[in-house]
């Protein structure tokens, strides 16, 4: 079903004048889907509730042109829109960039926060940042990725041009900070870890979750969750599965952003068809808890990474993770505390870690560690850091 996105969904509530810092947040908001939209919305809501800062939401009237978006839809039709949002930015229409910036100036905000994760949006954000800074408005970037996982034309130059125009830069991991600094940008880069998502509800009984998904109720089950792209290393996990001593099963849950014929051939070649369940679909918010409740362990065998909202979702549900030693993933998973960290592109090492998890008391111990990790990555701490004056 095609989603019809409103051009403007304005907040008509009249606020009493006050002296609190007024913040505008620019980025994708629901009904756009995906981790960045979830983050943007959660940050906005926490600003207004936990932080007490009035916030204005500005999003895209068109985020990606269809030919650049490989998924089925950019929108989620089953998500509740919880923030009054102005959908003003057409990524392909430069006239809209100036108009959106002038709308921000007219709204009387003190600061504009851009969610930055891809060089494709740098031209629009540069134009907007230039206009609001001339009006004396502070510009901040919360940087999810400074360098794209997959090569993009002029990607580094575009990121450098936008981020150098910001008054403040907040990286979501030390790895992202290093990427920003490698661009040659002068000025301080702050680091504040990606918080744990809280929008997906609470865990449910594992047996009931598996029944709802039609899965074996007693098997050792690892979960690979999220958009499937080559840099995420699903093929490495499948090769590892073939080397495990135990009869471990794999649940792959997420929409494929590239052809999966090679993966299907690999599964057939290794004789793993009976041990791998593939759900090639975008997982709706209401169903996320079912998948994480069904799995025993999240595995992210990434070839490259900055940080991961998927790891933080696992922590929300008290699930340990095995991740690779790339980017910011080792900052999120403390080795032998809430999961394990292994070398990238090493199926043998990954297989050993998976077998080890299901032996002895490791599963129970690491699960406790994952639950305790929830206190390390709170939205309250993130917003408190953001609201601190420099």
What residues make up the domain containing 361?
Answer: 206-376
pLDDT of residue 122: 96
Closest Cα partner for 198 from 288, 262, 259?
288
Return the residue matching tokens 């994480």: 292
Distance CA 240, CA 88 (A): 46
Are 168 and 276 found together in one domain? no
Are 102 and 32 found together in one domain? yes
Task: Write out pLDDT tens, residues 134-177.
Answer: 999 999 999 999 987 666 668 899 999 999 999 999 999 999 99
Are 226 and 172 found together in one domain? no
Does any domain span residue 389?
no
Considering 191, 222, 252, which residue would you say is the last residue of a domain? Answer: 191
Does any domain span residue 259?
yes
Task: Write out pLDDT tens, residues 194-236.
Answer: 998 888 889 999 999 999 999 999 999 999 999 898 999 999 9
Considering 167, 191, 215, which residue would you say is the last residue of a domain? Answer: 191
Q: Which two tokens stand for residue 308?
A: 């991961």
Question: What are the two backbone dihedrals, phi and then psi, of residue 250, each rounded to the nearest 5 degrees?
Answer: -125, 130
Are 222 and 134 found together in one domain? no
Are 235 and 332 found together in one domain? yes
Where residue 358 sits, what CATH number does that domain have? 3.40.50.2000
Task: Write out pLDDT tens, residues 28-64.
Answer: 999 988 889 999 999 999 999 877 788 999 999 998 7
Number of domains in the chain: 2
Q: Which two tokens stand for residue 321?
A: 């993770």
Q: Which two tokens stand for residue 199?
A: 């929008």
Considering 145, 164, 191, which residue would you say is the last residue of a domain? Answer: 191
Where residue 113 sits, what CATH number does that domain have? 3.40.50.11930
Are 168 and 238 found together in one domain? no
Biggest distance spanned by C-alpha atoms of the chain: 67
- Residues 41 and 83: beta-carbon distance below 8 Å: yes
Distance CA 152, CA 156 (A): 8
Are 54 and 130 found together in one domain? yes
Task: Write out pLDDT tens, residues 178-205.
Answer: 999 999 998 899 999 999 888 888 999 9
Are 41 and 143 found together in one domain? yes
Alpha helices (H) along the chain: 35-48, 94-106, 122-134, 155-163, 174-182, 206-213, 234-241, 261-270, 285-294, 309-316, 329-332, 347-357, 362-373, 379-387
Does any domain span residue 84?
yes
């Amino acid at each position: 079903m095609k989603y019809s996105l409103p051009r403007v969904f304005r907040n008509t509530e009249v606020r009493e004048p006050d002296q609190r810092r007024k913040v505008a947040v620019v980025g994708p908001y629901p009904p756009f889907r995906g981790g960045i939209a979830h983050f943007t919305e959660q940050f906005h809501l926490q600003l207004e509730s936990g932080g007490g800062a009035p916030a204005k939401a500005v999003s895209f009237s068109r985020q990606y042109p269809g030919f650049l978006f490989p998924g089925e839809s950019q929108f989620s039709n089953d998500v509740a829109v919880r923030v009054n949002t102005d959908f003003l930015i057409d990524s392909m229409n430069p006239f809209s960039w100036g108009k959106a910036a002038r709308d921000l100036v007219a709204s009387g905000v003190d600061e504009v926060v851009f969610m930055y994760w891809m060089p494709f949006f740098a031209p629009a954000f540069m134009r907007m940042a230039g206009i609001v800074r001339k009006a004396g408005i502070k510009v901040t970037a919360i940087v999810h990725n400074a360098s794209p996982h997959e090569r993009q034309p002029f990607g580094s130059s575009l990121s450098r041009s936008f981020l150098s125009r910001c008054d403040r830069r907040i990286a979501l991991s030390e790895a992202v900070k290093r990427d920003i600094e490698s661009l040659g940008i002068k000025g301080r880069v702050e680091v504040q870890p990606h918080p744990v998502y809280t929008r997906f509800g609470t865990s449910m009984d594992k047996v009931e979750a598996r029944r709802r998904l039609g899965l074996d109720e007693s098997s050792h089950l690892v979960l690979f969750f999220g958009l499937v792209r080559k840099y995420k290393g699903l093929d490495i996990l499948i090769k590892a599965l073939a080397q495990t001593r135990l009869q471990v099963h794999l649940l792959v849950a997420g929409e494929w952003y590239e052809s999966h014929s090679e993966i299907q051939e690999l599964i057939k070649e290794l004789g793993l068809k009976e041990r791998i369940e593939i759900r090639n679909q975008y997982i709706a918010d209401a169903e996320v808890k079912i998948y994480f409740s069904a799995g025993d362990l999240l595995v992210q065998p990434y070839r490259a990474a900055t940080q991961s909202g998927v790891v933080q979702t696992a922590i929300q549900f008290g699930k340990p993770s095995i991740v690779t030693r790339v980017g910011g993933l080792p900052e999120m998973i403390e080795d032998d505390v809430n999961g394990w960290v292994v070398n990238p592109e090493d199926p043998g090492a990954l297989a050993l870690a998976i077998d080890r998890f299901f032996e002895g008391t490791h599963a129970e111990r690491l699960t406790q560690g994952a639950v305790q990790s929830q206190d390390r990555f709170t939205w309250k701490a993130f917003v408190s850091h953001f609201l601190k004056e420099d």
